[in-house]
Structure 1
Amino acid sequence: MKKSELYPLLLESCNKLRGGVEPARYKDYVLVLLFFKYVSDRYKGQPFAEFKISDGASFDDLIKAKGKSDVGERVDKIIQKFLEDNKLQGALPDVSFNNPDELGYGKELVDKVSGLIAVFQNPAIDFKNNRASGDDIIGDAYEYFMMKFAQESGKSKGQFYTPSEVSRIIARLIGIGNIKQMPTKKWTLYDPAAGSGSLLIRAADEAPVDENGDSIVTIFGQEKDIATAGLARMNLILHHKGTGEIKKGNTLVSPAFTDDFGELKKFDFIVMNPPFSDKSWSDGIKATEDKYKRFDGYGIPPEKNGDYAWFLHVLKSLDDNGKAGIIMPHGILFRGNSEETIRIAILRKRYIKGIISLPANLFYGTGIPACIVIIDKENADTRDGIFLIDASRGFKKDGNKNRLREQDIEKIVRTFINQEEIEGYSRFVKYSDILEKNAGNLNVSRYIQKIDDTLPQNIAAHLKGGIPGTDIDSLKRLWSISPALKQKIFTCTDNQQNIYYLAIPTENIEEAIWQDVNVQNEKKKEVDTMFTQWRNAVKSILLNINSETNPKQLIRAISSMLLDTYKSALLLDNYDVYDCLLNYWNAKLQDDVYAIKAYGYEAGREIEYEYVQKKVKDESGETVSVDDTSKVKSFDGALIPREIIETSYFPEDLNAINALAEQSTALKAELDEMREEESGDDGLLKEVLNENEDGIPKTNLIKRLKELDSKKTSVAMDAMTKLMTLFDEDKTDEMEVLISKTPELAKFDIRNKNGTFGKAKLKAAFKLAMDSAVVPEIYKEEYDALLAYQAKMIKKEETDKAIKEAQKALDDKVQAKYVELTVDEIKHLLFNMKWMAKLEADIKDEIEQVLNTMSAKVLLIAKRYEHTLGEIEEKAEASRKAVMAALERMGYKW
């Protein structure tokens, strides 16, 4: 099952709810059905399964309820029975499929609920044999919905969703992937503001697994909102983490996890994205008398801002060697008063290991700028400082939100783990500098100054001319590739003032850059040498995928190798190349890897068919569209696109079809040209145009030709018409007289062997006479134009028929070839023709963009100071005088 196929089908279910149901509630209905469908498909009929699916409590029972007048009541009872069988009462979001306030009354409710079940009944959503990707795709689909619903829900509900990109960063930075299984140690992971559970799941996914493939960490979470807690529970189950505990309730008021002494339970790892600037955090709690002593030694957070209340809860809940990654608003880094007191107390304990400043407008439900705070109690007393990263400028636009790219995620993680200081991006700051020189202010911008890559206007250059050397130095990346190119394009005329002038015309600049030998060599090195080096390094990995392969480890390994390979590239940024790979992984490559992991490379022989749709009645009597498997609309390889098979094995057939297609296209263009030229009021083809006058239907053409044929005339044709009439009247003598008087009839064979007139002979002669007849002169040009158009139309029809026949023959060959592919052939086609070909093309495109950007910047610099202010003023004055003179000549005075 592929995510690209699953998501659109699930989104279709939302359309069934539009009307009475608020968008914020879509997820509750849709995800309950997704969950129920999943567990029903996976566990029905399996003894000792994680879930009990009994008679009357499966998705099959929902199908039977479709179309019934009491379908809503039946669905509620079926799902409730499942929950009771599995002791899950109250675990799922509180929805009723018999709720007229949201789903309507009578037939409207029946249609909505039945339509919703029908979407999930689609054979494409079948989890019975979902081995290709385990539970990841299903769980990821769940989170995809959470993201979509967060986008639609607005600020009131968006706080429940943490973007997966941020979750992945935290999961890797807290070091949970480095733990080891120990017989005496049970690792624990906790989220006190669990929301939908995405942070917990990402962190648990990062942890090692035991011999059964299960994560070696035990999951704990608490969520205040009852419906969202149900969603988190479902999310854990869908990610095969059903043993995790999600408790309901207000964590700050009544923490759900305590030890035998009534103290807060201590955890090894904590992740958290709490409600920002929680104004009601103190409701139900007297902070000065907090029995868990969370604020002791730090101070009480402001009554109307709970950011540090959550922060201190995390510190209290962490084991002595515990580690945490929490998402906080930027304000906690620099706000004063009581928050400053708390921040300084935390800094003195040296618990904070790092801070990552994130892009603005990243989170659903708030526009407040946020950061990730990494906490590590282990060896805190020996820690010298905090590692800061300003990642605020690394993102892409996604609608009205910003999103981290794959390269942004990897750059943050690598930079933090390696403690790599990068100008304008990352810096290690000592605690002494923070506390003594900056009074505990942690605002990242105070320690990391952004690199200003804008080019300020140079007033002196605008006044006096010349190009400032500072502008030219901004292209040092290009000059590092080819120092000689700088001398070729620019000439320094004043070393003291660092002033340059153009050495070549502006129109020659782009060609000079693209044709430069050093640029060409670097381009070849990055496209050929570096890519080939990486390609050879990952070949054995991608050609030896088996059931034991871990896809997430695979992509991390080959992407890391790609980053290292392109580290020395001068044109490309290695993280841009990394983004090419990860984007392709998310779009296609991971589906391929999961399929090969489950079915082997033999999956490359599989063909997927798209069938023509037909209308049938379902079990409830409704008309639905289903596949007509007797009529194939199109097909493609499940792993190997048919285009690859065609180009690899049948290039001659493909070339022949392409040649015919070009011929057909040319004929169509000629037909369009003929129509356009003769479609005006006086056009010769105006009589056969369609209503919109943008086409000529074949029926119109034939009809008009028949009309003009009927107007044809000639002496022979008139005489033949009379002869046929006389023959029918049996007036042989008169026929003989007519023939003797009409010499034009002498060339026609109208008699039988015995000399008598024959009817068949007369008809054939009449046709010949008609063929040789001509339309009246008034219609001749139109008739000739129609015939010319018809001849070209027939030729196009014949060409299109030939294309269809050739394509059918090629289709048969391609389908036969899929079946007989060897594993070695499949590996070659996948690795060389599909995966590597796509990535190499993407990298080439990246280089083209880089060179285009460089060329554009050189042109911008060259043209910016092309004319001095004085020259512009002179030109403007000359133009003004010319206009004034022209106006005077026209008689205007002022």
Structure 2
Amino acid sequence: MVVALKKSDLYSSLWASCDQLRGGMDASQYKDYILTMLFMKYVSDKAKSDPDSLIEVPEGGSFDDMFAAKNDKEIGDRFNKIIGKLADANGLRNVIDQADFNDPEKLGNGKEMQDRLSKLVTIFRDLDFRGSRAEGDDLLGDAYEYLMRHFATESGKSKGQFYTPAEVSRVLAKVVGIGSSTSQDETVYDPACGSGSLLLKAAAEAPRGMTIYGQEKDNATWALARMNMILHGNATAEIFKGDTITSPSPQLTNGKSLKTFDYVVMNPPFSIKSWNNGLEEDFGRFEYGMPPEKNGDYAFLLHALTSLKSEGKAAVILPHGVLFRGNAEGNIRRELLKRGFIKGIIGLPANLFYGTGIPACIVLLDKENAVSRKGVFMVDASKGFIKDGNKNRLRDQDIHKIVDTFNRQLPIDGYSRMVPMSEIADPKNNYNLNIPRYIDSSEPEDLQDLSAHLHGGIPNRDIDALQTYWDALPALKDALFEPLREGYSNLTVDPSEVQEYALNRSGLELIRADVENVVMEWFGAHREALLGITADTKPNDLIRDLGDDLLARFKGMPLLDEYDVYQQLMSYWNDTMHDDVYLLMTELGNGGSWASAAKPRKTIDDKERKLSEDPDLEIGVGRSKTKYKMDLVSPALMVDRYFADEQARVDELNAKLDLASAAVVEHSEEHGVDEALLAEATNDKSAYTKQLISAVIREARASGDQETLDCANAALELVNREAAAKKAAKEAQAALDEATLRKYGELADEDVKLIVVDDKWHAAIATKIDTEVNALTLALVARVQQLGERYSETVGDLDVELEKLEAKVMGHIAAMGLES
């Protein structure tokens, strides 16, 4: 069996493999085993499908040889030898053989190790990477990121340093300056490369990749980086071992100077205290000052600067403290600013990284035209994120907004601006780069108006603050407010009626229609590209074209933020559409078609691998029941297009069933409760049963209790009516399900294309974008209601109410005879 090529299925399988290793070790250790297995499986599959594969898989050194060792008493030792053969054939000793598969302390003794590794190799045996192109936008790349993210999460605060979150890596890669004109022979270097994900993201921004260099201190993490490069088609990448600051690799130096590169990207360890332990040679890095002895942040920044060519560019993630700390660091910062090396600063949200919760920033260095640089472009992106478990995560819209804003140098109030060097050098700032000094991103305070509380009315300044809404919905403002006195207005409707006005009397339907038309035109422009998906389609390019065009079309649209609209597309892409595209690509690459990609398959239910799927359709009953999964075209889509009348009939029968069931419940609540006539006709769930009602009928006949007999007969009739309605609805649903299943076998390619592209993708995206209109409207409603309720009663009104309450209390006191 081969697991369907969907992210969710692949992730479930990979995480099930982690379950086999939990208990004997923590994630920082078992990640080496899982990633080694992933590597062995991938390169073995790749060698079968690609005769030009850069990795040689020798006889006795493949994943198939590992699977052949399943249930062997010496399985651990055999695994080590098989991996060793592959390592020897490719110069990968101490790279892919870091994990000891024969370690009883981690994997158990005897039978325990045998069972654990046998289950582990079985999980990977069911995965098929022969169709994977490892271009960074394929399933393997996603799977690797998935594993690294979860390993970092489970490894905890002290051991998550091997991984830079993919979202942050994407930002660095896109703002450092790599682009469509970057050639393959240009160089990118990460002096603290961890598992290499940041380097790969940066190189992937160039159309044909780049020449990659990196260095990593931790031996196990260095091995991960080497494997990661091979898995992503960069087997020639140069990744060296050693401490970048104290011992730059000889291959990265020229005598007493550092080799230089076109681009540097880096996420070094934050504020490391032991950065200079063993430092003997500075390699010309500290000409602008020596970093403080117990904080290495500027040591890494200066290393990046020194590693740049004369027109080189760097993006370095560092803690916010580098922007404002004084003394030695302040002096270095001043010297870098005076020379124009710092091009920009991007402030990131707190709690993005796995090793620390503190907020970080990206420092952009650029030697090109440094002498003529007149300012620093700053972006405060600290508020754009989503909560993801106990971490924060950048959304697609946050990434795109950061990149657009920085690369185009767009000034946005409260978000970004070009700060002149004269302002930074001003004595009041003294080369301090703390972003809040230059960008006020704080939310305006919601002020209470004393005059409004005393005399009534809503302050016009609060109404005017909603001007973006009034620009889009001018009729709503006129319907809701009328002048009261200078500077104040009255809410003309009750606060509870504001929502009805906003949704139905505001002209919102015109905006909704405009949005629908824009989405329709946008989708129409890309429909042929979607219909033309092939095995060679590049999903990253496809979604980039879709997303960038959607952003452009919604820029300037009243009421809506184009990045919120973009996020709706990207959420659907990540949740559903990417899987659909990849499934189609795989099927087409294997000689199939759109129609074959839509074929139902039986669900997977493998308890041993902890992998199961909820069926989309069930045919039959009992042991003969067959469960089906429809990955591309759901039964609901089929029914909507082909069986609308049949579904209407099922809905009608279900409605009759609901009425029949309600009548039974109503009767039982009146006559089936304790001490009622039919108390003995209900079970322990207080529900009638036919058997119990029949027993009551027999007793009533025998005793001549006509009242109970009539009541029981009425109950029996209702129960029988409900049973008949249930049978009719069930039979109609079963018939519809069987007709739906048969219809899958009748679909032609053109049928499936229409369903997937129009009924599924277009309809879902249009619906998601429409929710943005509703969400913004409801936000307006909430604010107007808040203002209306806040100032609905003046102090005078409250005084009158207080007098009434005091009089009422005094009346009660007098009635009790307690009046003094």
- Please indicate, yes or no, whether the TM-score normalized by the shorter chain is above 0.5: yes
- Counterpart contact for 1:45–1:53, Cα < 8 Å: no
- In the alignment, does 2:731 pair up with 1:802? yes
User: In structure 1, what is the Cα distance between the partners aligned to 2:726 and 2:111?
Assistant: 50
Aligned to 1:52: 56
> Within 5 A, what are the aligned runs for 1:159-308?
159-181=161-183, 186-209=185-208, 215=209, 217-256=210-249, 257-261=251-255, 263-286=257-280, 290-296=281-287, 298-308=288-298
User: In structure 2, what is the Cα distance between the partners aligned to 1:777 and 1:12?
Assistant: 65
Deviation at 1:181, TM superposition (A): 3.6
Aligned to 1:514: 503
- Counterpart contact for 1:193–1:251, Cα < 8 Å: yes
CA distance change for structure 1 residues 789 and 667 in 2, over 3 Å: closer, same or farther? closer
Deviation digits for residues 36-56 of structure 1 (CA, Å, limit 9, x no counterpart): 222222225865532233343
Aligned to 1:494: 485
Report the residue type matching 1:161 in the other structure: Y
Structure 1 residue corresponding to 2:39, chosen from 14, 35, 38:
35
- In the alignment, does 2:685 pair up with 1:693? yes
- Counterpart contact for 1:611–1:631, Cα < 8 Å: no
Deviation at 1:127, TM superposition (A): 1.6
CA distance change for structure 1 residues 782 and 97 in 2, over 3 Å: closer, same or farther? farther
Aligned to 2:413: 423
Deviation at 1:822, TM superposition (A): 3.6
Q: Matched residue of 1:117: which SS?
A: helix
- Counterpart contact for 1:466–1:500, Cα < 8 Å: yes
User: In structure 2, what is the Cα distance between the partners aligned to 1:673 and 1:133?
Assistant: 63
User: In structure 2, what is the Cα distance between the partners aligned to 1:135 and 1:505?
Assistant: 53
CA distance change for structure 1 residues 612 and 448 in 2, over 3 Å: closer, same or farther? closer
Structure 1 residue corresponding to 2:778, chosen from 833, 841, 852:
852
Deviation at 1:615, TM superposition (A): 8.8
User: In structure 2, what is the Cα distance between the partners aligned to 1:369 and 1:613?
Assistant: 43
Deviation at 1:117, TM superposition (A): 2.6
User: In structure 2, what is the Cα distance between the partners aligned to 1:613 and 1:373?
Assistant: 48
Q: Matched residue of 2:745: which SS?
A: helix
Aligned to 1:811: 740
- Counterpart contact for 1:671–1:792, Cα < 8 Å: no
- In the alignment, does 2:670 pair up with 1:680? no
Moved more, 16-25 or 360-369: 16-25
**RMSD of aligned Cα (Å):** 3.2
Structure 1 residue corresponding to 2:333, chosen from 331, 343, 348:
343
Report the residue type matching 2:538 in the other structure: N
User: In structure 1, what is the Cα distance between the partners aligned to 2:375 and 2:606?
Assistant: 69
Deviation at 1:380, TM superposition (A): 1.6
Q: Matched residue of 1:640: which SS?
A: coil
- Counterpart contact for 1:604–1:639, Cα < 8 Å: no
- Counterpart contact for 1:32–1:92, Cα < 8 Å: yes
Q: Matched residue of 1:253: which SS?
A: coil
CA distance change for structure 1 residues 703 and 131 in 2, over 3 Å: closer, same or farther? farther
User: In structure 2, what is the Cα distance between the partners aligned to 1:545 and 1:218?
Assistant: 30
Moved more, 627-636 or 274-283: 627-636
- Counterpart contact for 1:592–1:639, Cα < 8 Å: yes
User: In structure 1, what is the Cα distance between the partners aligned to 2:670 and 2:450?
Assistant: 57
User: In structure 2, what is the Cα distance between the partners aligned to 1:46 and 1:828?
Assistant: 34
Aligned to 2:393: 403
Aligned to 2:6: 2
Report the residue type matching 1:565 in the other structure: R
Aligned to 1:842: 768
Moved more, 457-466 or 515-524: 515-524
Q: Matched residue of 2:764: which SS?
A: helix
CA distance change for structure 1 residues 675 and 230 in 2, over 3 Å: closer, same or farther? farther
Q: Matched residue of 1:177: which SS?
A: coil
User: In structure 2, what is the Cα distance between the partners aligned to 1:283 and 1:615?
Assistant: 52
Q: Matched residue of 1:361: which SS?
A: coil
- Counterpart contact for 1:155–1:364, Cα < 8 Å: yes
CA distance change for structure 1 residues 491 and 47 in 2, over 3 Å: closer, same or farther? closer
Report the residue type matching 1:321 in the other structure: E
- In the alignment, does 2:93 pair up with 1:99? no
CA distance change for structure 1 residues 654 and 512 in 2, over 3 Å: closer, same or farther? closer
- In the alignment, does 2:85 pair up with 1:81? yes
Deviation digits for residues 277-312 of structure 1 (CA, Å, limit 9, x no counterpart): 1111011114xxx2411102x111011100000000
Deviation digits for residues 517-537 of structure 1 (CA, Å, limit 9, x no counterpart): 544323322x23322332232
Report the residue type matching 2:69 in the other structure: A
- Counterpart contact for 2:183–2:206, Cα < 8 Å: no
CA distance change for structure 1 residues 154 and 15 in 2, over 3 Å: closer, same or farther? same
Aligned to 1:731: none
Q: Matched residue of 1:559: which SS?
A: helix
Q: Matched residue of 2:278: which SS?
A: coil
CA distance change for structure 1 residues 111 and 165 in 2, over 3 Å: closer, same or farther? same
Q: Which structure has the larger Rg?
A: 1
CA distance change for structure 1 residues 160 and 46 in 2, over 3 Å: closer, same or farther? closer
Structure 2 residue corresponding to 1:658, chosen from 651, 654, 675:
651
Deviation digits for residues 407-456 of structure 1 (CA, Å, limit 9, x no counterpart): 11111111112111111111111223222452211111111112534421
- In the alignment, does 2:565 pair up with 1:577? yes
> Within 5 A, what are the aligned runs for 1:690-839?
690=683, 692-693=684-685, 701-702=690-691, 705=694, 780=709, 784=713, 787-788=716-717, 790-792=719-721, 794-818=723-747, 821-823=748-750, 825-839=751-765
CA distance change for structure 1 residues 546 and 822 in 2, over 3 Å: closer, same or farther? closer
- In the alignment, does 2:798 pair up with 1:872? yes
Report the residue type matching 1:77 in the other structure: K
Moved more, 681-690 or 47-56: 681-690
CA distance change for structure 1 residues 16 and 599 in 2, over 3 Å: closer, same or farther? closer
Deviation at 1:817, TM superposition (A): 2.7
Q: Matched residue of 2:433: which SS?
A: coil
Deviation digits for residues 843-887 of structure 1 (CA, Å, limit 9, x no counterpart): 111101111111111111111111123432442343244234324
CA distance change for structure 1 residues 529 and 317 in 2, over 3 Å: closer, same or farther? same
- Counterpart contact for 1:272–1:325, Cα < 8 Å: yes
Q: Matched residue of 1:128: which SS?
A: coil
CA distance change for structure 1 residues 785 and 76 in 2, over 3 Å: closer, same or farther? farther
Moved more, 504-513 or 244-253: 504-513
Q: How many residues align?
A: 805
Moved more, 650-659 or 793-802: 793-802
User: In structure 2, what is the Cα distance between the partners aligned to 1:383 and 1:843?
Assistant: 41
User: In structure 2, what is the Cα distance between the partners aligned to 1:696 and 1:40?
Assistant: 63
Structure 2 residue corresponding to 1:137, chosen from 136, 139, 145:
139
**Percent of residue pairs identical:** 41
Deviation digits for residues 721-752 of structure 1 (CA, Å, limit 9, x no counterpart): xxxxxxxxxxxxxxxxxxxxxxxxxxxxxxxx
- Counterpart contact for 1:607–1:636, Cα < 8 Å: no
CA distance change for structure 1 residues 249 and 795 in 2, over 3 Å: closer, same or farther? same
CA distance change for structure 1 residues 187 and 636 in 2, over 3 Å: closer, same or farther? same
CA distance change for structure 1 residues 104 and 548 in 2, over 3 Å: closer, same or farther? closer
CA distance change for structure 1 residues 796 and 503 in 2, over 3 Å: closer, same or farther? closer
Moved more, 466-475 or 485-494: 485-494
What is the TM-score when the length of structure 2 is the normalising length? 0.90
Report the residue type matching 1:13 in the other structure: S
Report the residue type matching 2:213 in the other structure: F
Aligned to 1:543: 531
User: In structure 2, what is the Cα distance between the partners aligned to 1:440 and 1:4?
Assistant: 49
User: In structure 2, what is the Cα distance between the partners aligned to 1:360 and 1:624?
Assistant: 35
- Counterpart contact for 1:274–1:327, Cα < 8 Å: yes
Aligned to 1:718: none
What is the TM-score when the length of structure 1 is the normalising length? 0.83
Deviation at 1:711, TM superposition (A): 9.8
- Gap runs ≥5 in structure 1: 210-214, 714-773
Structure 2 residue corresponding to 1:533, chosen from 521, 543, 564:
521
Aligned to 1:110: 114
Q: Which runs of 4+ in 1 moved over 6 A?
A: 131-135, 612-616, 622-632, 710-713
Q: Matched residue of 1:883: which SS?
A: helix
